[in-house]
Amino acid sequence: MATLLEETETDINAAAENTPAARLQSAMSATRISFVWFGTRKSLTAVQKAQAAESFGAAGDYLSAGKKLLDTRHPRFKAVNSIRSRVRAYWNAVSLPYPEPGIRLVRRESLGSFQEHLQNYRSELNEAVVELEAHYEILRSAARERLGELYQESDYPASLRNLFEVNWEFPSVEPPSYLQQLNPQLYQQQCRRVQARFEEAVQLAETAFVEELSHLVSHLSDRLSGQEDGRPKIFRDSAIGNLQEFFERFRTLNIRSNEQLEELVETCQQIVSGIAPQQLRTNGGLRQQVATQLSGVQSVLDGLLIDRPRRQIIRSPQ
């Protein structure tokens, strides 16, 4: 028969396993995305900085100066850079922050889709780099003309291929299992450290959700309230669409850690449910009704932002 102490420990462990942090830990996998990207800016040499400083009567070691190697405004270069932005946006949309630089948490059940999306982005990137490569000589010729004496052939690789990459991995944030046998005390210490990290991750996720919802509600409320030049303010369809996207992402990533936040999201969803942007443009009464209801949500969100400890969200590396 189990002793009272054993029963108590069992109850404590069961309660701990049902905390938001434990649910987050069991449902999520750590992910890291990194980029290899050809740098298009380079610092001037000491001699070049001294020459530039001389025209201003300044000391070269007090001057910071660089040169732009290629025109990144070229359509082919913009196409390459846009893929990096899209990868970051996708990663942020399907994941939650984690209190270690460069790591975000993705639902384990979504890892297959996550991998597929990134492989597609990698294929797009390779194709975009091939297109950029076809214009490389043109870009170099333009740089030669614009940089004048600052142009140096050695700054430019023979080819741009293999100089743009997107990579991803799934780093372990759990303590190594061998510690359990090698040093049980150290293993338990590391388990507590990981538990604390996930407790902080819960707070980071809640803060991110509250701040995003507050921004979206505030923007829509502002567009629906008041006038500009005697006419109702103009708002785009995205003011509603972005909220709908938030509701879907919250439903997917929510770990049921904050009932008040869940109620606010549900209330906000009910306010805009079934309402098309055009209805808000043409129906003044509906416009005012929605604006008033959203103001009530905003006031509660403002309270959450004031009461919640300010934490810095760890973002992906640039």
pLDDT of residue 308: 62
Q: Is 6 exposed, middle or buried (0-12, 13-18, 19+ CB in 10 A)?
A: exposed
pLDDT of residue 307: 67
Tens-digit pLDDT profile for residues 128-164:
999 999 999 999 999 999 999 899 999 999 999 999 9
pLDDT of residue 50: 84
Stretches in the chain below the pLDDT threshold 50: 1-2, 4-15, 311-318
DSSP string spanning the chain?
Answer: ---HHHHHHHHHHHHHHTSHHHHHHHHEEEEEEEEEE---EEEPPHHHHHHHHHTTT--GGG---EEE-S-TTSHHHHHHHHHHHHHHHHHHHTEEE-SSTT-EEEEGGGHHHHHHHHHHHHHHHHHHHHHHHHTHHHHHHHHHHHHGGG--GGGS-S--TTSEEEEEE----SPPTHHHHH-HHHHHHHHHHHHHHHHHHHHHHHHHHHHHHHHHHHHHHHHHSSEETTEEPP--THHHHHHHHHHHHHHHH--S--HHHHHHHHHHHHHHTT--HHHHHH-HHHHHHHHHHHHHHHHHHHHHHHHSPP-PPP----
Tens-digit pLDDT profile for residues 144-154:
999 998 999 99
pTM as predicted = 0.85
